[in-house]
Structure 1
Amino acid sequence: MATSKARAGRSKLEVMHPDAAGIDVGGSMHFVAVPNEAAEQSVRQFGVYTRDLHAMADWLQACGVKIVAMESTGVYWIPLYELLERRGFEVMLVDARQVKNVSGRKSDVLDCQWIQQLLSYGLLKAAFRPQDQFCELREFNRLRTRLLADQGRSVQHMQKAMTLMNIQLSQAISDVAGVTGQKIVRAIVEGERDAQVLAAYRDSRIKASEEEIAASLQGTWRAEHLLALKQALGRFDFYAQQLQECETEIQRVMTKLEVHTKELGKGKKRSKAKNAPKFNVRERLLKMCGVDVTKVDGIDETTALNIVAEVGTDLSRFPSDKHFASWLGLCPGTRISGGKVLGAKTKHSVNRASQAFRQAAAALRSSKSALGAYFRRLCGRMDKGKAVTAAAHKLARLFYALMTKGQEYVDQGQLYYEERYRQRVIHHLQRRAQSLGMSLVPTA
């Protein structure tokens, strides 16, 4: 009798989306499942050509489908997602871990049916995807990142070609891609071999003397390595031109996304990063976000651009800063069994916004601010990797507060943080002493 009562008291799964469809996305074929009563054949397969995607959308509309779920498989889902969204469907992109099928037989037909069943019962949650207009900015910014990496490899090729000729220019100057390095390399490619003439291109800001630079420019000048140097320099210039085109498009999109009319005020004096965009990123971000996120220590213009391009300016999809930090993969894990914490390691994440916050946290090492003091305190308690994650978690929650509340960030300073830390230590020592029947007496 008790067993039957327990069974009767169990809540049954209710169909929340009777008009749901599930799609198993593939590189050469898409499998689509609709409710059994919606069509005579509830599972169909479609190709990946544009005409096939339109045929799929027409069939879904004929079946009365209003909401669609698909698994994030590589980049194959993007054209289908965008087309269905334009056709008026509510499209849910779900994490592959949510739609993992039960053990047993596995096929594309079973997968799409399983996705449709989970969605119909409301058991799937859509992954975060920024607004469509920010997707354009995100793709341009990711392209810029790839171009910077390719340009960096061409600099390495220049250094290797010179090293093979025993041209030790990198030992005398720190950056071959800088003003002095580029003048010297271009003169070598044009045929100059006199070390004294090449050393005369030295910029006044270079610490090494002309004699030291001239000594580093005495090599073998072999023809095969000179050709490699010339071609590497050509690739460097080619990527520079592509970067300029990409940054022009980024500026155009950011100008289109401006919704605020705030003027840029005085900020902290920071040296511009070598690989930062050539236009005023800080002003564009202010007019997009309504707040100057670069005032947060560790977050420079490039880092702020990377974060905003990935998450957008509307963070209402995240109910709280804790949800935002969890999506970034920066919050501690919760592996608990039998009341015992088995581990609190953060989950592995390839989130680009999370990587940007980690870079910003690592930059706090020498910051004379409250966040810098906080990061150095963490480094004294744990290894640097964990400290970077914890500081990135704090930066992410600060960024969420700035974007959702629209308040400007004000740094309290390193001394303020140290005093707050001192007061907390004294407070806990006094409580500990009081529990032992003692009292703390300050020295004169």
Structure 2
Amino acid sequence: MIEAISDYWKPFHCLLAEDLNVILVNARGVKNLPGRKTAVSDAAWLAQSGVHGLVSPSFVPPQPVRELRDLTWARTPMTRERGQIVQRLEKLLEDTGSKLAAIASDILGVSDGAILQALIAGECDPRTPSDLAKRKLRNEIPELTEVLTERFRAHHAFLTRLHLDHYDQLTDAIEQLDERVADRGGDGPLSSRPRPAQHPPRDQPSRRRSDHHRDRR
């Protein structure tokens, strides 16, 4: 019998479950039972409680399910962090006086991403945003001419590139997790692939980001 405290029980469960009928009990369910005195007597006390039916075993999913949980739990903080990167990009643009974040619904979309690349490249021609705008964003061309601002300096370009690189790294990792889940027969929200930032790698020629865009979560 093992008390489930944090993740400390896992290695012991893995070692013992192959040969023994290991019972995992929830710490919340046993902490208020009478007779528990010191840490030294905890093991004997817990065993006696189990023998007399005073504790209920917790459900331990089979190994494939536990591995699937590990994959989904690894994915959650990555998607959260990716959203935080978008917020940092928007804040960075606001600090430079650029109105791109206010005009565009998705600063990592096809048009907005191309405009970001123009900013990183040091583009100063006010006609550039209108040339790069696609679809609905073309309705905002008058406002887009104000996107390129002299306050967007090399410092901001450097930080923007770092954020975009980090976003792409997280997206690649999320896609690998999604593929792993799919290979193991998982379904649900993970079956929808996120859309990466898709900016051109440093020192490589630009390409259409829509070439490998997927539905973004």
| TM-score normalised according to structure 1 size | 0.40
Native 8 Å contact 1:101 1:114 kept in 2 = no
Distance 1:203 1:72, change over 3 A: farther
The reply to whether residue 277 of structure 1 matches residue 208 of structure 2 is no
Task: Give the alignment partner of residue 126 of structure 1, picking from 37, 42, 57.
Answer: 57
Rg bigger for which structure? 1
Unaligned residue ranges in structure 1 (runs of 5+): 1-68, 258-272, 280-444
Distance 1:228 1:276, change over 3 A: farther
Shift of 1:82: 1.9
Corresponding position of 1:191: 122
8 Å Cα contact 1:70/1:93 also seen in 2: yes
Residue 8 of structure 2: aligned partner: 76
Task: Determine which structure has greater relative contact order: mean sequence separation of CA pairs < 8 Å that are 6+ residues apart, divided by chain length.
Answer: 2
C-alpha distance in 1 between matches for 2:137 and 2:23: 55
Report the equivalent of 1:115. 46
TM-score (norm 2): 0.77
C-alpha separation between the residues in 1 aligned to 2:130 and 2:13?
57
Look up the SS of the partner of 2:146 in the other structure.
Answer: helix
Task: Provide Cα deviations, 1:175-207, integer angstroms capped at 9, x if missing partner.
Answer: 212222222222322332333213322221337
- Structure 2 match to 1:162: 93
Cα drift, residue 243 of structure 1: 1.4
Deviation at 1:150, TM superposition (A): 1.6
Taking the aligned partners of 1:72 and 1:208, their CA distance within structure 2 comes to 58
1:206 equivalent to 2:120? Answer: no
Separation in 1 of the partners of 2:144 and 2:11?
A: 54
| 2:95 counterpart letter in structure 1 | L
Conserved in 2, the CA contact under 8 Å of 1:71 and 1:94? yes
Q: Which residue of 1 aligns with 2:171?
A: 240
Aligned to 2:197: none
The 10-residue stretch of structure 1 (204-213 or 238-247) with the greater mean CA deviation from structure 2:
204-213
The CA RMSD measured in Å over matched residues stands at 2.7
Take 1:207 and 1:125, find their aligned partners in 2: how far apart are those partners?
A: 63
Residues 71 and 95 in structure 1, CA contact (< 8 A), matched pair in contact too: yes
Helix, strand or coil: the match of 2:79? Answer: helix
Structure 1 CA distance, aligned partners of 2:101 and 2:92?
Answer: 12
* CA shift in 2, pair 1:216/1:276, >3 Å: farther
Matched, 1:94 2:25: yes
The answer on 1:153 being equivalent to 2:57 is no
CA distance in 1, matches of 2:138, 2:7: 48
CA distance in 1, matches of 2:144, 2:136: 13
CA distance 1:221–1:206, change in 2 (3 Å) = closer
